[in-house]
A and B are shown apart, each in its own frame.
Chain A
């Protein structure tokens, strides 16, 4: 493997890790606060991608630069509408009930959304590369790469990481979320509306999944099944990091992204195997994940 390929692999890994991080951190946040593994998370990612592509194909005729706000709008719409619906009508009646039922009802949401996606957007691949083409290519150590993938995507991921940290640790709303996570009963007793906190957290998490999808849409063709693949992958990342660990998720996403990128260049057939093999190995040694503590501080 020569140095050009190595640099290419690193860049691939970083841009891929940025997307995976956005989706995984949403999953992790939802689990951290609501204690629910959201199986529909991958569908939110896919919906985000498809809606963003639809929006940007339409708006690009007005002005190509408007595709960037379109990506953002699409992910918020999906987060609020789909995420809000799942939390309010499916999960809310089940709080405090068997974990299996909570997990399974998000599986039902996954089945429905997967089907809706085929009905709405069809099964033909969709391309909407406008935002990718607008930004110039840049040269990193002699390797040409799109600046969308090596600057914008990691930039958004890092901003999200610090934004979430700031939100949870420094703002009142964040403190309220932490309080509910720590002790729901006590926080309800001092007048916090735990129901609302759950709603808001779920919507934030869902929007992050949709944002991951929206940002991924210019870089890849959209096909049925992308949601089912993404949910296991993001779950592998979140579980390897330790569910509920935000910084850990970022590091794990980077680790898995880079490993995967190098494997693609060296031994392409094992690409899909990498995240799951890492997950098995890590969970066997540390079932609470790389960064999870046994007495888990949840988020």
Chain B
């Protein structure tokens, strides 16, 4: 087991190093990599739930919660600090995740996905329609926050947010790895293979799933806060169902079997979007759709799965 994980960990280290170093040479990559890391954090939450065999088609609600936490701070209090935003985004989404989680962990599979979708659409319509507080579909601008009391020019700021995202992403990646290797994480995985047996062992499957759900909501929240700071805006679109679909898409693209799949998927997704949008402005969505179809039909375990399959065939098929 340990021998098979190690190459992936090596790839993960190379990836994090690359996202720290490469943008120093190409300035436009700073924002690109910051987005990849921030979205990767959100998708980490989806991958976590995939371990339990559950798919949330409403995770954008936590993403939006995190984003709007930063936006509301700027609108009603003003100023702000990246660390305060991220901490608050994490807290609000955790609380929200706990409330929603108490309801949704009673259900599985399609019903779990459906209820998540319903909650997220309620949040979306509130964000869209409470015009006085949220500016409706226009969203709220997120003013550039400082860090430790320093403020930055736009040029420096893109690197500041990149490195903050990188540190948060590494912490989240490491934390999720540790969690999945812990007894609690193994129980989460056991839910996918045999939930009844888990209950026979004296564990509460609901509680196991609730813990996983709240962690994944927390990840969605801080990822959302980071994205809103990077893009300097929070709109209701952040909580729309297509956003949730996008996160599940990225998780499957990268591969749900390993935490690093979240970042591998996010990197591929954002790169395709970045370059397709630059060259074929009208059809990047079409290209992503085709990529998704190819991945599902020919590599259902995602990018991570491709590597494992290659490794297995080289060892003579195990």
Contact = CB atoms under 8 A, between A and B. Distances in A.
A110 B126 CA distance: 25
Interface in B170-205: none
Interface stretch (A66-74, A190-198, A273-281): A273-281
| B contacts with A: majority SS | helix
Given A93-B297, A104-B249, A115-B283, A232 B241 contact: yes
Interface centre among B50, B113, B130, B285 (most CB of A within 10 A): B285
A119 B284 CA distance: 12
Given A107-B292, A287-B111, A236 B118 contact: yes
A269 B131 contact: yes
Interface string A221-252: 00000001001100110010001000000000
Interface residues of A, number: 44
A270 B129 contact: yes
A97 B299 CA distance: 13
Contacts, number: 117
Contacts of A287: 106-107, 111, 115
B114 interface: yes
A240 to B, nearest CB: 9
A236 B245 contact: no
Interface residues on B, range: 35 or more
Interface centre among A109, A112, A231, A243 (most CB of B within 10 A): A112
B5 interface: no
Interface in A259-299: 269-273, 276-277, 279-280, 283-284, 287-288
Contacts of B241: 228, 231-232
Given A97-B300, A273-B129, A276-B118, A283 B111 contact: yes
20 contacts: A37-B110, A93-B297, A104-B252, A104-B296, A108-B296, A110-B245, A111-B285, A112-B285, A112-B293, A116-B286, A119-B286, A228-B241, A239-B114, A269-B129, A270-B129, A271-B129, A273-B126, A276-B121, A280-B122, A284-B103
Cβ-closest 8 pairs across A and B? A111-B289, A112-B289, A108-B292, A115-B286, A276-B121, A272-B125, A115-B285, A273-B125
Interface of A: 37, 39, 90, 93-94, 97-101, 103-105, 107-112, 114-116, 118-119, 228, 231-232, 235-236, 239, 243, 269-273, 276-277, 279-280, 283-284, 287-288
Interface of B: 50, 55, 57, 103, 106-107, 109-111, 113-115, 117-119, 121-122, 125-126, 128-131, 240-242, 245, 248-249, 252, 282-286, 288-290, 292-293, 296-297, 300
